[in-house]
Structure formats: structure tokens, C-alpha cells
């Protein structure tokens, strides 16, 4: 099999991922460890291959949201520490402990079950406490942190292995709120230490924190979007050089000449003003190409920008190729580089009034993922199955 068999596919450049990991490691310094956030199938890039490459380049921890995401990594033979960032996995206390996973807690409700299971299995339940320093999402209130931490250390079988919080606006140019969060977090760490509570890991910084801040507390950093070569926002320092690791490609399935005055696609929302040529691409919103790109977005063919004409369909999109010499089977770049032109996830996000996170995380699982090393396909993932290349 080769990519000629695919009407549409994703390419994930493992060398660029390795570069981004090394950039982050250089920035955080030797006294901190790096956690790679690979939740949501590594933001659509493929959790297992991304995790393996990240770990091979110096990442210490992996972060997921769901227990099943952690178990997928364990089933792939990954033995690195895994932090379950979501708080919806406490019906799985046995799996958490058996597979040496670390649970994040925000209140005392799961502690009894974790303690009982840990004693029964004869293995500690690793627990980290999340405190809300200003995001208003998950986390124990600062005033209740000490009480919760003391309960964790009192209960048999539990190991208080970390304290964490999260930045909601570190990707904004105004850092006053974030700096206040840091002050709150440091004060809480000091409060715990005064009571003899010293969790081994302390972390609050995310990708934006690493890129824009030089002085933040903790000995662990959680990097998500930056791993994938994307910036958290347009306001962070883009001199922090990253390489986007994902390209989205397809092959033209049909080319046709059309006269002036022809309505195109569902709703006939575009009418050709003059005679031209159109190409059909076998990619639509069921692949993760948003319908909102209808009559707005462009694709790259032979290094030229070709506009989307009419509405994006479920399984196809129509683009205008004009006088380009194209035929079925020719390559189309939807996200990525062709010649001197580049279309990134940020460009899609701009058209759709959203963020690059959403663009890559919603690329469909029906798209095969091809993992490149030294420019050649090293691993394929077709419909959730991994195939090693000879």
C-alpha cells in the first residue's frame, strides 16, 4: 500500500514533532520535566505514534483526559507516567491503580474508593490535586486545598504525588491575570509546605506559559498545542520557532469545464461568472473539512491557491482550477505547503472564527494517518489500525 491508494489522508511529520519537543525542553530548562498532552488522540494527530516520538526525544510524562485514552497508550506498550487530566474516570479505580496511572482530583468524593482499591490491590493510588487559581473550571477552591491535601495523606493507600493548576489567559498579551495566578499558586505551595505537605510534582504552565513567560513555578510543564507546531494564539511570541507537523492532502477525483452562469453545489450558492474549470476533491465535512469554508476557503494545487466554490458537501468539495493543467489523481493540499504557498490550521480558524485547536482535533478518524520520518512513510494508521512499514 502507498498513499496513491488514498483519496485523502493526513501526514504527520515525526521529525518536526521531535524538533518541537526539543524546542520546549530547551526553553523549560534542565530542572523541569515535560509532559506531552496527547488527549483527544493527540489533538487529532494520533496519540500512540506522537507519544512514542515525544518520549524518545526527552518527554517524561503523558497527559490524557479519559481512562480509555490512557489504556490505549498502555496497550501500545508505553510505560511512561500518565496523568489523567479529566475527572470522569473514578468508576475505574482498579484500572487506574493496576496500570500505574495518576489520577487528578478536585474534591474528596473519589478518595474512599481509591483508598479501598489501593489496599485491596496492594499498590498505591497516585493522586494529584488540581486547584482553581482563576480559570473557573475544574479545581478545588484555594481555601479548601489544605483540608483536601491532608485527607489524601491520611487515607491509607493514597500517594499525594502532585499539585497543579491551569492558565486560562496566558495566551493573551496582557499577563496581569496570569501573574496574579502565579502569586496565588506560589502562596498555596508555601502553605502546604508549612504543614509538611510536599508533593513531588508541582505544575501550572502550559504551551502559552512556556512561550511567553520565563518565571513560573513548578518542576513540570504541560505542553499541548505547541507540540504540534501550532501557537496558542496570535498574541504569543511567534519568535519561539515551531514547525507544524500535520499536512492534510487529497487527490482530485474529477475535473470538468463549465460555462458561465452555472450554479455550484447544494443551494447553488455560487454561480460561475465566466467559463472556467472545476475540480472535485473527495473531502467534505465528514472528513473534518468544515462546511463554514464554503465559498471562503482555498486549497493548494501545484503551488497555486484554488478557491472553494459552493458549499462543502459531506464527502466532497468543489474548487476552481481555471487554466491549471490538472487531472484526476493530482495532489491537493488542504492544510500544509505546496510550492511557496502555505495554508495552515490558523487560516481555517480565521475563516471560521475559531481556534487552531478545534481544526486539528476534529479531523475525522476516517482519514488515514501517515507518519513520516526523514520524509518517508514510517508508520500508517488506517482506521485505527497501525501498520509498520517494511
Q: How far apart are CA 213 and CA 27, in angstroms?
A: 10
CA 111 to chain centre: 30
Q: Residue 336 carries which DSSP code?
A: E
Catalytic residue, candidates 6, 16, 39, 270: 39
Catalytic residue, candidates 79, 254, 256, 266: 266
Q: How far apart are CA 249 and CA 251, in angstroms?
A: 7
Is the torsion defined by CA of 381, 382, 383, 386 positive or negative?
negative
Known catalytic residue at 39: yes
The three three-digit cell numbers of residue 351, written as one number? 475563516
Do residues 65 and 256 lie in contact, with contact meaning Cβ atoms separated by under 8 Å? Answer: no
CA 159 to chain centre: 29
Q: How far apart are CA 258 and CA 236, in angstroms?
A: 45
Known catalytic residue at 79: no
Do residues 18 and 57 lie in contact, with contact meaning Cβ atoms separated by under 8 Å? Answer: yes
3-state secondary structure (DSSP) of residue 189: helix
Q: How far apart are CA 283 and CA 281, in angstroms?
A: 6
For the annotated catalytic residues, the residue numbers are: 39, 266
Amino acid at each position: 500500500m502507498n498513499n496513491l491508494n488514498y483519496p485523502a489522508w493526513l501526514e504527520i511529520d515525526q521529525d518536526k514533532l521531535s524538533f518541537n519537543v526539543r524546542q520546549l525542553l530547551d526553553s523549560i530548562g534542565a530542572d523541569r520535566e515535560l509532559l506531552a498532552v496527547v488527549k483527544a488522540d493527540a489533538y487529532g494527530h494520533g496519540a500512540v505514534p506522537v507519544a512514542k516520538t515525544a518520549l524518545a526525544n526527552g518527554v517524561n510524562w503523558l497527559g490524557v483526559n479519559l481512562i480509555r485514552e490512557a489504556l490505549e497508550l498502555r496497550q501500545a506498550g508505553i510505560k511512561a507516567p500518565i496523568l489523567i487530566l479529566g475527572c470522569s474516570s473514578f468508576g475505574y479505580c482498579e484500572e487506574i491503580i493496576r496500570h500505574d496511572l495518576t489520577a487528578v482530583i478536585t474534591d474528596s468524593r473519589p478518595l474512599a474508593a481509591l483508598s479501598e482499591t489501593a489496599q485491596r490491590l496492594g499498590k498505591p493510588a497516585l493522586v494529584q490535586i488540581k486547584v482553581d487559581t482563576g480559570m473557573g473550571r475544574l479545581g478545588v477552591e484555594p481555601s479548601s486545598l489544605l483540608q483536601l491535601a491532608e485527607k489524601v495523606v491520611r487515607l491509607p493507600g493514597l500517594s499525594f504525588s502532585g499539585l497543579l493548576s491551569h492558565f486560562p489567559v496566558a495566551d493573551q498579551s496582557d499577563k496581569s491575570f496570569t501573574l496574579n495566578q502565579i502569586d496565588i499558586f506560589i502562596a498555596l505551595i508555601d502553605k502546604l509546605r508549612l504543614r509538611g505537605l510536599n508533593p513531588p510534582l508541582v505544575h501550572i504552565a502550559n504551551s502559552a506559559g512556556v512561550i511567553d513567560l520565563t518565571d513560573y513555578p513548578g518542576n513540570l510543564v504541560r505542553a499541548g498545542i505547541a507540540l504540534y507546531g501550532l501557537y496558542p494564539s496570535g498574541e504569543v511570541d511567534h519568535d519561539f520557532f515551531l514547525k507544524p507537523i500535520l499536512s492534510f492532502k487529497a487527490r482530485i477525483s474529477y475535473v470538468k469545464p463549465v460555462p458561465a452562469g452555472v450554479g455550484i453545489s447544494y443551494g447553488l450558492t455560487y454561480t460561475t461568472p465566466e467559463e472556467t474549470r472545476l475540480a472535485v476533491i473527495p473531502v467534505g465535512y465528514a472528513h473534518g473539512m468544515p462546511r463554514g469554508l464554503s465559498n471562503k476557503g482555498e486549497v493548494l494545487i501545484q503551488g497555486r491557491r484554488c478557491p472553494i466554490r459552493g458549499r462543502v458537501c459531506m464527502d466532497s468539495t468543489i474548487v476552481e482550477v481555471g487554466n491549471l493543467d490538472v487531472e484526476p489523481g493530482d495532489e491537493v493540499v488542504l492544510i500544509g505547503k505546496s510550492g511557496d504557498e502555505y495554508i495552515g490550521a490558523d487560516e481555517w480558524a480565521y475563516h471560521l472564527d475559531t481556534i487552531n485547536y478545534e481544526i486539528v482535533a476534529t479531523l475525522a478518524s476516517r482519514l488515514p494517518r501517515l507518519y513520516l520520518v526523514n520524509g518517508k512513510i514510517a508508520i500508517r494508521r488506517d482506521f485505527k489500525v497501525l501498520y509498520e512499514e517494511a
